Amino acid sequence: LDRWRGGYRGMNSTTSYTPLETLLLFQSLVAYGTEEQNFLQISEHLTNNPLVKDGETYDAQRLTADSLHELFLQLLRDELKAEDQEDGSPTATKKRKLQSPPLPSIKDAQEHRDKLPILVDRLYARYRDYMERAIEEDERRYAAVRKEIDEIERGEWDERILMEEKPMTNGN
């Protein structure tokens, strides 16, 4: 799933969606279905989800039913393409050389609904990895700040602070 490129029919790039948004989309598709009307319901759930809404990159336009529909088709198409490439058969080699056409409709995608749980598992792993990296980064920043506080409390910054204040007092 990390190999996704560009958007479906020039629309939003799949990389503009957060790992959480894509995970919640596919979990919702498994729960509600992949019919046209389900995308309206899923869009409403995602746009009102506090974890999504409070995200730094929240964009309601990205979560419209049409955008989610196109994201679903793009990611399903990418998954099918990746399966073809992993398959070592001679027809897969031919398919690899030819660009696979986009899935034109939800009806065409219905026959691949059994792939959704596999995609959910992959998206969950991607989201988990993303969150682990974010937590590790927060822990590194916390450790650095904690170290600076300890140094300040031990007086190791006294001279540095005086040196920084000296040009300010001389300039006034």
Residue pair 45/65 in contact (Cβ under 8 Å)? The answer is no
Q: What is the CA radius of gyration of the chain?
A: 24
pTM value surpassing 0.85: no
Q: For the chain, 172 residues long, give each residue's pLDDT as a single digit of tens.
A: 443 333 333 344 566 899 999 999 999 999 999 988 999 999 999 999 999 999 889 999 999 999 999 999 999 888 888 877 776 655 544 544 455 555 556 777 788 888 899 999 999 999 999 999 999 999 999 999 999 999 999 998 888 888 888 777 666 5
Q: State CA 52 to chain mean position distance.
A: 11
